[in-house]
Amino acid sequence: MQNIIEISYFIAAILFILGLKKMSSPVTARGGIIWAGIGMLVATLITFLHPGMSNYLLMTAAIFVGGVAALWSGKKVAITDMPQMIALYNGMGGGAAGAIAAVELLKGEFHSQTFLVLAILGALIGSVSFSGSLIAFAKLQGWLRRPLRFAGQQFLNIAVFLAAVGFGVLIIVQGEFNGTIILGFFLAALAYGVLMALPIGGADMPVVISLFNALTGLAVAFEGFVLNNAAMIIAGTVVGSAGTLLTQLMAKAMNRSIGNVLFSSFGAAGGAEEESVEGSMKPINAADAGIMMAYADRVVIIPGYGMAVAQAQHKVWELAELLIKRGVDVKFAIHPVAGRMPGHMNVLLAEANVPYDRLYDLDEINPAFPQTDVSLVIGANDVVNPTARTSPDSPIYGMPILNADQSKNVIVIKRGQGKGFSGVENALFFGDNTRMLYGDGQAMASELIEAIKEF
């Protein structure tokens, strides 16, 4: 039986790895989710056959409740709320790792000091990921609208973290599993996760979600060693390494270090200081914008979070299809940190059945902007702000952007004249070649469609 269990865990781990590999491309992502799901099913079912397993009723009830909740949320949660759902689910993974560690620590049955150290590390990292992800969820959900910062905050954070580490060391050194010390350890770890996430602004949420994802994977891997569970070790390691690489890519896309994301004030709405932008925003109506796009040879569409809020992705693709039928070369430009989570725009456009070969990342599309007749920006802000390229004093200076300002003409669909999450005024909106189409993204896309149909 033990051989069957080990083989099953090995198969589950292979399915996790293959599934994650497939998720790296929009073309195969759906299949990757199915493969990983099958792997999870195999790992879950084989757990029931473990020698000495007895709480079948509790396990079945937990799986049923969790499955129903996941099915309901997966069907009911709007695509605009997907980032906070991802943050919440990721937090649950970290919490689960912490809960496993808590049970093992209270039992106090470790084969060696090494396993005890791994349990403590997994508990610390998992708890931080759990509470930090809950704060990220609250920020994305709009319950915490502004970053919380105060004098001496970093010193408090360090003190709480050292307290958690101190409790952990005390457990290891004493070798006695005192309930009070264990409780203090977990409370300090959870508090640090909260304090770590509170000062981080909305503009940094894609990086933060990736970071907590990496921490959750690492915590699961550590607890896999404690439980001698190969599937947890491999799955946690894969998720942790993938999350780490993704975090680095997200930070690179913003030209910032992880430390800068965690400890700077960037991302606080209205908190940035930048020089004023000369000129004025010049409005355009949908009819004139439609004419401009209908007679263009090359059009680049740049989506952002505003498109997600307006649920405009289907109308935007309908607009693109009309242009394509007229012989216009239409491309979609995707910035790595557009939206509220990694790959947010890819998910939205995939939902609207936009062909994958029309999606271009930053490095692929930027050389094409000088030859682009019209760039249509819908709901994007900071990721197209040329200030990042031209103003050394700007908080976003050096951040790689989509060079929409180099297009012959730019049309920006926007509700109003507000700034982006970084709080920095967007020089693109004041450009001589830019026209502002004010209104809801979906409504304006519909008006553009009607305008083009008239031709």
Catalytic residue numbers, as ranges: 382
Specify whether the CB–CB gap between 382 and 269 falls below 8 A: no
349 membership: H or E segment, kind and range: helix 344-351
Specify whether the CB–CB gap between 324 and 330 falls below 8 A: yes
Specify whether the CB–CB gap between 311 and 266 falls below 8 A: no
- Give the sign of the dihedral formed by CA 12, CA 16, CA 17, CA 21: positive
The one-character DSSP state at 381 is: -
Specify whether the CB–CB gap between 443 and 281 falls below 8 A: no
206-227: string of b/e by CB count within 10 Å (b at 16+)?
bbbbbbbbbbbbbbbbbbbbbe
Quickly list H helices, 175-204. 179-197
- Distance between CA 369 and CA 373 in Å, rounded? 8
The residue count of the chain comes to 455
Query: Three-class SS of residue 398?
Result: coil
- Please report, for the chain, how many H helices and E strands are present, in that order: 17, 6
412 membership: H or E segment, kind and range: strand 409-414
Tell me the two tokens of residue 345.
Answer: 């725009």
Beta bridge partners of 361: 334
- Distance between CA 321 and CA 452 in Å, rounded? 11
- Give the sign of the dihedral formed by CA 321, CA 323, CA 328, CA 330: negative
| Location of structure tokens 């293959």 | 18
